[in-house]
Chain A
Amino acid sequence: MAAVQETVDRVRQIDVDQYRYGFETLIESDKAPKGLSEDTVRFISAKKNEPAWMLEWRLEAYRRWLTMTEPQWARVNYPKIDYQDLYYYSAPKPKKTIGSLDEIDPDILKTYEKLGIPLREVEVLEGVVRPEGQRKIAVDAVFDSVSVATTFQKELKQAGVIFMPISEAIREHPELVKKYLGTVVPTSDNYFATLNSAVFSDGSFVYVPPGVRCPMELSTYFRINERNTGQFERTLIIADKGSYVSYLEGCTAPQRDENQLHAAVVELVTHDDAEIKYSTVQNWYPGNSEGKGGIYNFVTKRGDCRGNNSKISWTQVETGSAITWKYPSCILRGDNSRGEFYSIAISNGHQQVDSGTKMIHLGKNTTSRIISKGIAAGVSQNTYRGLVTAHRKATGARNFTACDSLLIGDKCGAHTVPYVEAKNSSALFEHEATTSKISEDVLFYCVQRGLSQEEAVGLVVNGFVKDVLQQLPMEFAVEAQKLISISLEGSVG
């Protein structure tokens, strides 16, 4: 009975507009003037106390961006974005220099508490014993354009892991940043990546030295708070020889009537025998039931398996954003390297998702696996777009792709656009895709055994996405599961 009550309460809470992270925190902020020009780029660079080479790098990207045109090929429709009508930098106004977490604006901390992000190290400081098996997570929280706090710095330092805001890394580890920044996603890569290169304000930087297994999960939480701002974060993760790191990313934003822009770039590099596991739970504000508001999410994510026997694994749960345009990819350069992509993309209401992956096989005996589950409800459009390619020297390349789509309701659309290109005879590619609705028989079976229609759908959907959920770190798996049931509320009946 308790469980039923819980569901009823939750549904009531959620009502029509189901977004529960939609609150806004009123904090004084420091903004760059509206609009984008070389001056904006200089302003951001100056704010970050960046060295001259970094400013030059940004300006070069900005000048290139001016010559580019917005890509039109994705199956998404949105009114033209006025890039001059946005704030490109917004930082919580510092009350004084921040020395420790206690000095952070308590409003910001409260925001993260509301979101359920364990930002404070209190427990650890006070020596609270955690139940066995519960892992520690180091969090880097990004609020609008700046990183506000990074936890567990000390412990990570002991292990030799560098985990800090990228703006700090540019100052403190310029050699590493210079060596890797823009080598996976070059500044000229695409319209949004180039824009990001010019105006990115913060993000996370991770370097795991050779042979180190990062002692805890690393996590970044992104929050867009300010009105009319775009968030442009940049993440760079390097796993040196034989190292391992698992990184989690979460995103939320307040409910607003206008659309906000999010254009991030994530670059991953693995050297010999290294592994990066990157998990995302993307829950940006999707807009209201009429399709008003919501985040435009244009993200470029790419991993480069540079070393032999290296591995990059992407796991994503996409439930938010009005528009998602995102293709986490793997360049399998090293011999025997492996790329994985596990994705759940759920669209409801007026959401539009165009997401997928690219597996580019360059090295010998490289393998990749793609499991994509798309669920479309309401009047949303959900597209999987993927590329698997084996180059001429990629002997023994192997790929398995399964992308399944589930349609809930007759107003939504689910699409599959795979590209399978083989230029090597020893490449073995398998691709399969299915689209269907939830079988009436299965629903009837569940309902007949006492489940409500909604519970039955929830059960089937959870079974449908199980393969992907299993790939998520435990902490996220629980959140993701809840998120899935919330995203689909109101889509049945």
Chain B
Amino acid sequence: MNVALVKNETGSALSDSFAIARDRLPGADKVAAAREAAFAAYAQAGLPHRRIEDWKYTDLRALMREVLPLAPAPDAAEFSRAASAAKLHAIEGVRRLVLVDGVFAPKLSELGGLEKGLGIRTLREVLETGDAALQTLLFTPDNANPMVALNSAMMTDGVVIDVADGVVLTQPLQIVHIASGTVPAAMFTRSLLRLGKDAGATLVESYIATEGAKAYQVHDSLIISIGNNSRLDHVRLNEDGRDAFNISSGVVSLGAHAHFNTFGMMSGAGVSRYQATIVFAGEGSRVETNGVNLLNGKQHADTTLFMDHAVPHCDSREIFRAVVDDRAHSVFQGRIIVRPHAQKTDAKMMTRALLLSDDAEADNKPELEIFADDVTCGHGATTGALDESLLFYLRARGLSEKEAQALLIQAFVGEAIESIVNDGLRELAIAAAQRWLEARG
């Protein structure tokens, strides 16, 4: 009874805000119809709650309560604050593409001198004037997931990147999401990366906030398609503000003999959820997904991965590490499905959580669903505190308690971070982990 009541309240409040925002959302006709359908799917389900199996550990009705209204377009002051934040978090040698409060900011982005075969457009542009096939592709994420449906209904901007066949980009691309608004608001973004055949690219996604950004909500999604014999390296760094919400979804599909290497680090946001679906559509492909949660205070971070082995002869590796301090809560849900006929699949998943405080919580749900017999699949999960004997060993060699802990934590997350191929990006992740440890004091 109660549940139905809550659903109606949040549903109706939001449909008002959808009605208000509708005119501001790019795209007409088919795009508008797809938005309506997506919104109807969301309105039907409402914010996901713990009674929905996929959201068992991340009850958005309790954590988020409501979806904030669409953020107003940033003004000059906000752009200038965003510019300084972007500068502060700048990564050397990458091509930066900046979204401020959910709106593409050309002035802060580097659009000049594109490598041959690289095309960059904004989502707004594609929704308004793009070809129908591309627009359809932008609506592929499944509306069955209410937060994906909401994102489909409300998406305002993002970047659409195309890498042509045979092109291997030498310069990594970075999509930076900056929140700068001084009123609590929500931003809805969606980006797309299409990698042709025999191509290669590196993509970095960063989430940051300017000084003085109010409690905000990031609703983001990323659609990636990797062509045959192509390779994508992907790094995701979440350093959102401490009272921010970040609900992001990824949909990745791989052609034959493709390679996808992805790493995600969550150290920001009060409540975050990253849900990714990775589908093997061609044989002989490989995926490595690695993730680290570094949480303290009252942070809540959820990583939900769905690895879909739909075809034979593919390999996947998942390594996940969570370091949880204070009253923080880390969630890892990993599901591997091996469809009938997907023989010779080799899938492994390992998740480990390190609890640094008695009030911390770590929940792991590594699932295997196997419908083919000639496969090798396995998963492991461990939860525990720092090993006392290792601590003692280090203390006996003159390290302070904190130093010893920091060293062990660094080693603990190191295995996941090491998987980053690009040296510069790996250093960046190590530095971010270092900063987190130093902030611990």
Contacts and interface: CB of A to CB of B under 8 A. Distances in A.
Given A408-B373, A416-B368, A419-B365, A433 B355 contact: no
A412 B359 CA distance: 42
A407 B340 CA distance: 12
A409 interface: yes
Contacts of B85: none
B377 interface: yes
Contacts of B381: 418, 420, 429-432
B366 A410 contact: no
Contact of A422 (B353, B366, B375, B378): B353
Contact of A421 (B359, B363, B377): B363
B364 to A, nearest CB: 4
A417 B365 CA distance: 7
Contact of A431 (B343, B359, B366, B373): B366
A258 B317 CA distance: 45
Contact of A432 (B356, B358, B378): B378
A42 interface: no
A435 interface: yes
Contacts of B361: 421-423
A419 B367 CA distance: 9
Contacts of B380: 430-433
Interface in B314-366: 340-341, 343, 353, 355-366
Nearest to B345: A435
B111 interface: no
A435 B385 contact: no
B384 to A, nearest CB: 4
B370 interface: yes
A433 B372 contact: no
Contact of A410 (B362, B374, B376): B374
A392 B357 CA distance: 11
Given A422-B361, A431-B379, A432-B381, 13 more contacts: A405-B370, A410-B341, A410-B374, A412-B373, A417-B365, A419-B364, A420-B383, A426-B358, A428-B383, A430-B381, A431-B366, A432-B380, A435-B376
B393 interface: no
A436 B363 contact: no
Nearest to B329: A423
**5 tightest A-B CB contacts, nearest first:** A425-B355, A407-B373, A431-B381, A422-B383, A420-B364
Given A416-B379, A425-B360, A410 B343 contact: yes
Contact of B378 (A407, A409, A430, A434): A434
Given A416-B368, A422-B355, A429-B382, A437 B377 contact: no
A348 to B, nearest CB: 14
A90 B25 CA distance: 67
A435 B369 CA distance: 10
A415 interface: yes
A141 B214 CA distance: 69
B383 A427 contact: yes
A413 interface: yes
B53 interface: yes
- Secondary structure at the A interface, as helix, strand, loop or mixed, is strand
Nearest to A398: B384
B392 interface: no
A432 B366 CA distance: 10
A28 B326 CA distance: 67
Interface residues of B, number: 36
Contact of B373 (A392, A410, A426): A410
B374 A420 contact: no
Nearest to A399: B383
A435 B362 contact: no
Nearest to B364: A420
B383 A418 contact: no
A53 interface: no
A358 B356 CA distance: 25
Contacts of A421: 361-364
Nearest to B56: A419
B377 A425 contact: no
Contacts of A408: 373
Nearest to A428: B384
29 contacts: A392-B359, A407-B372, A407-B375, A409-B373, A410-B374, A413-B370, A413-B371, A416-B367, A416-B379, A418-B381, A419-B363, A419-B365, A421-B361, A421-B362, A421-B363, A422-B353, A425-B385, A427-B383, A427-B384, A428-B383, A429-B384, A431-B379, A431-B380, A432-B380, A433-B368, A435-B368, A435-B375, A436-B377, A437-B374
A73 interface: yes
Contact of B358 (A392, A407, A415): A392
B371 to A, nearest CB: 4
Nearest to A395: B358
A413 B367 CA distance: 13
B364 A415 contact: no
Contacts of B357: 425
Nearest to A436: B376
Given A420-B383, A426-B385, A433 B378 contact: yes
A376 to B, nearest CB: 9
Given A407-B370, A415-B370, A435-B368, A424 B375 contact: no
A430 B370 contact: no
A414 interface: yes
Most B C-beta atoms less than 10 A away, residue of A423, A425, A426, A437: A425
Nearest to A413: B371
A418 B365 CA distance: 6
A424 B357 CA distance: 8
A412 B379 CA distance: 20
A392 B358 CA distance: 7
Interface string B404-436: 000000000000000000000000000000000
A415 B367 contact: yes
A422 B368 contact: no
B312 to A, nearest CB: 11
Nearest to A385: B367
A425 B356 contact: yes
A417 B355 contact: no
Contacts of B367: 415-418
Contacts of A73: 53
Contacts of A418: 364-367, 381
A2 B164 CA distance: 71
Nearest to B382: A430
A437 B365 contact: no
Nearest to A393: B358
Nearest to B325: A425
Nearest to A377: B373
A433 B366 contact: yes
A436 B345 CA distance: 10
A424 B365 contact: no
A415 B368 contact: yes
Given A410-B340, A416-B379, A433-B366, A427 B373 contact: no
A386 to B, nearest CB: 10
Contacts of A429: 381-384
Nearest to A387: B365
Interface string A67-107: 00000010000000000000000000000000000000000
Contacts of A428: 382-385
A417 B371 CA distance: 14
B383 A410 contact: no
Nearest to B354: A425
Contacts of B358: 392, 424-426
Nearest to B338: A435
Nearest to A423: B361
Contacts of B353: 422
Contacts of A415: 367-370
A346 B383 CA distance: 30
A62 to B, nearest CB: 22
Given A407-B370, A429-B383, A429-B384, A435 B364 contact: no
Nearest to B380: A432
Contact of A433 (B359, B379, B382): B379
Nearest to A416: B368
Most B C-beta atoms less than 10 A away, residue of A405, A424, A432, A435: A435
